[in-house]
Structure 1
């Protein structure tokens, strides 16, 4: 055997290569931990959108990407074609492990008691009294996690496109299709990272509009209640279309203390407090007054006229679409306010916990944190780069010595090393048994698979194109597509998962290995 770099050991025996697999795998695990630790340190001092959207996903996939890169660069074309199966084995094995073993384990560890809420089952945070009940325990994620699952499914397309010439028995088209798939993979990577960067901003805008919607609906509900209590009628006349301007003018006049036809800032504050609007919105009184002035005072004279008041309230009323007969229903505005509050609460639940930050890290000098994080990242990248080639050689040598195809060695053994750090951190996060933590855990799983399907696949296809290697991985593409679609569909269609679903997803791991073996050796794919 040939020693890597002329100094690192190699072996031609099964036991010797097992030892080398364990040793090099442990080193790659430490490299992954260094990359993870460095990235998390940067999160404490830099923009979380940039770090979380660009750096974390790419650095998390770096060990896998380096192994894939090394698997196709060494030796002549024949050797590269032989070793490239290691890269595909790692790519498929990493994806399958994340979506089966880690997905199911996180559900098992993070399970809580399920309770019915509005005809839906929802996991109650940090509550587990039903033990291992397959139907009475489970987890609940937020709606944003379902988006991550659908994005993950979409990134399977480059696999299918690269495999299409062989499915259509047109192998001569293999190279151009591989080039196109490579370009699509990297384009998808840039789009995904861009989405991750702007996602926090998008979320903040959604929260802003949801809070604004709730303010409007709650204010209209209180105006409606006050008007009906005074026997002035509801917000709309009996036809459900025409605004009840007489009632609005009566309310305006009631709080216009000096009868000058305008509400000053003090009088507007009296209206807001008198109607009980700030009690439910939890906004500071002064902030609510300024919000009303900003929307109502179109003339910018720091007071609200009768015309401005009626026009603004009418505009709010007409922004809520409903059947005309429902608008004057006494319960209509109350239900609108409750629905808007539920939407706002759901968005606020997806916000990160500021109180979970490490106080010691907050006290450190930002420059020191950046230097320390950079050292971790640099060390992790160097270690992963240096030991990627010896690990690939050890896999190849073990395959030859044991007569086990290198694909299966890479499929089963290598992902355990390169993804162990991510798996442990995900399980620890899920063990907190909170919806927010569970949602983040599953978003990270879907995100890691998305990076496999973009960055890692793009690197793999680039090697295939550059070295003019043959792309024929029908069984591997099949198992990746099937598992990604099944688990992604499950994650995209629902937010609550019962414990029995973990058993079903965990069973996909041995079934995936059996499927690849059956397609390769049974059908000759």
Structure 2
């Protein structure tokens, strides 16, 4: 297996170097998988499949790979190194539901308002968190979607009971005697079947939910990121969505700007996406702050976002919406104008050049934005191979880049998970502790860093929708550990004849998920709750060590 450095043959500094190197590679691989999956959200035809299957499945690949490689080798070696895999599983599940959860509460906190016994969040106010908010009167609101996600997560823990209860009974009856009887092996098979059934059921629920508000928001955020970072043009970001709309509505008159009136309304769904993605840009280009855009500001907007629109087209479109002739258009009119640009083809101006008037518009707009926009929009160089391509080719380039990132990330995970297991095993040997505790702490830092960062990012938007996205992602990752990753564990026990020796770990995993479930039954969680939830992670280590010392394994 590549790389081939034997951890037992290196010194302490070499071992630390291997740990940091392999950990960084797995971190980058996990990040590549996450980023590649999210890129595919830009393609509406794939959004349901990506949001429902690809994102949760590939997100669990790093933990699953560590679990798989920890159970390979000779039976004696596998039984020992499997503790590394179990540590990664337990550490990942418990970490996701504690530390990033607590951080998300803090990042997404708003003032909590209690009226007639019902607590709501101050989400609609301009200042959502007052300067004198306390730990008890600030926090986040728990939505019905979060409560439903907590229930699904708790139900996916059932395979743990199917293997743990029979094995504990056999242990009490002194029938194991340090070996694995046939009936214990078949309990693992039953648990494996339930894991796979739970995995398929969870995928089905995810696909059904892929068109809900949470999935829409994640896609909108990705579209906004690609547009604002100028990795795609505006037409490239919206291309597939507009194509689907035009395919449904074949209007022979809709092929020229002149045939589309300013009073024509874009479809509700597209208007929703336009509002979410282009909304922040409106205020940045409204340099004089009058809540309207002038023709010069429109010109620099289209130039910055790589829309090859001629002066005549801008002037003609602007005249359609500037009905009172005051030289400016409102926000709603701006969105409709963008819809016309996106939905109606226009002749390329690459070879036509710009006349002096257009150049003066651009020059004036540049002068206006240099000082007024400050540190707003970034003006980094746009990759010519993507942003300057025609919209349909931009989509193809996005798919190619996404699949390349997914492939590279998966290959790196498969290559480096096995040596990472060996390194964590060697660390445990040298400091004379159970390998479980090493992987419990270290493995999640490499494999789950992207989920931690993403959850806090979404929560920081301080809306009920974004906190729902944040918590749902964390509980979804835990559910994948309970199904996909645990199925690998059960498969190793059944097919390789390994023994089940993880009672204390099972108790901790199930108990933490039960605590989170019951805490989600409240209508809100405060900053004080965040401290309690964050403390569960170190407390779970103490619990496992205590139960193990009491002989629960």
Q: Could you say if the C-alpha distance between residues 415 and 169 of structure 1 is closer, same or farther in structure 2, counting changes exceeding 3 Å?
A: same
Please tell me whether the aligned partners of residues 352 and 436 of structure 1 are also in contact (alpha carbons under 8 angstroms): no
Alignment check: 8 A CA contact 1:139 1:438 kept: yes
Corresponding residue number in structure 2 for 1:192? 202
> Are the equivalent residues in 1 in contact too, given 2:503–2:552 (CA < 8 A)?
no
Q: Which residue of 1 aligns with 2:244?
A: none
Q: Distance in 1 between matches of 2:55 and 2:143?
A: 21
Aligned to 1:452: 481
Q: Give the match for residue 149 of structure 2.
A: 148
Distance in 2 (CA, whole Å) between partners of 1:110 and 1:194 is 29
Of 509, 515, 525, which aligns to 1:497?
A: 525
Residues 16-55 of structure 1: per-residue CA shift (max 9 Å, x gap): 3222112111110000110011011000114322111100
The answer to whether 1:443 aligns with 2:472 is yes
CA change 1:425–1:473 in 2 (3 A) is same
TM-score (norm 2): 0.64
Match of 2:18 among 4, 17, 20: 20
Whole-Å separation in 2 of the counterparts to 1:118 and 1:372: 52
> Is 1:385 aligned to 2:401, yes or no?
no
Q: CA offset at residue 130 of structure 1?
A: 4.1
Counterpart CA distance in 2 for 1:113 and 1:352 is 27
Change in Cα spacing, 1:6 to 1:482, as seen in structure 2 (3 Å) is closer
Deviation track 1:213-239 (CA, whole Å, cap 9, x = no partner) reads: xxxxxxxxxxxxxxxxxxxxxxxxxxx
Q: Which residue of 1 aligns with 2:547?
A: 519
Who is 1:239 aligned against?
Answer: none
Tell me the equivalent position of 2:443.
414
Name the SS of the counterpart of 2:170 in structure 1: coil
1:375 equivalent in structure 2: 404
Give, in angstroms, the shift of residue 104 of structure 1.
1.0
* Mapped contact 1:14–1:398 kept (Cα < 8 A): no
State the 1:129 CA deviation: 1.3
Structure 1: tracts of 5 or more residues without a match: 205-283, 287-347
Verify the 8 A CA contact 1:182 1:462 in the aligned structure 2.
yes
Separation of aligned partners in 2, 1:480 and 1:22: 27
Residues 1:10 and 2:20 are matched in the alignment? no
What residue in structure 2 maps to residue 175 of structure 1? Answer: 185
Q: How many Å separate the matches in 2 of 1:44 and 1:433? A: 24
Check whether the contact 1:35–1:59 (CA below 8 A) recurs between aligned residues: yes
What TM-score does the superposition give when structure 1 sets the normalisation length?
0.68
In terms of Rg, which structure is larger? 1
2:111–2:133 Cα contact (<8 Å) kept: no
Residues 161-192 of structure 1 deviation map (CA, whole Å, 9 limit, x = unaligned): 11122221254331111000011001100011
| CA–CA distance in structure 2, aligned partners of residues 405 and 52 of structure 1 | 37
Which residue in the other structure is 1:473 paired with? 502
Contact 1:14/1:402 (CA < 8 Å) preserved in 2?
no
- Are 1:163 and 1:472, in contact at CA under 8 Å, matched by a contact in 2? no
The 5-angstrom pairing of residues 198-277 of structure 1 reads 198-200=208-210
Q: Secondary structure of 2:120's partner? A: strand
* CA deviation profile, 1:431-474 (whole Å, cap 9, x unmatched): 11111111100000110000000000001111111111001210
CA RMSD of aligned residues (A): 2.6
Listed as ranges, the gaps of 5+ residues in structure 2 are: 215-262, 282-304, 306-385
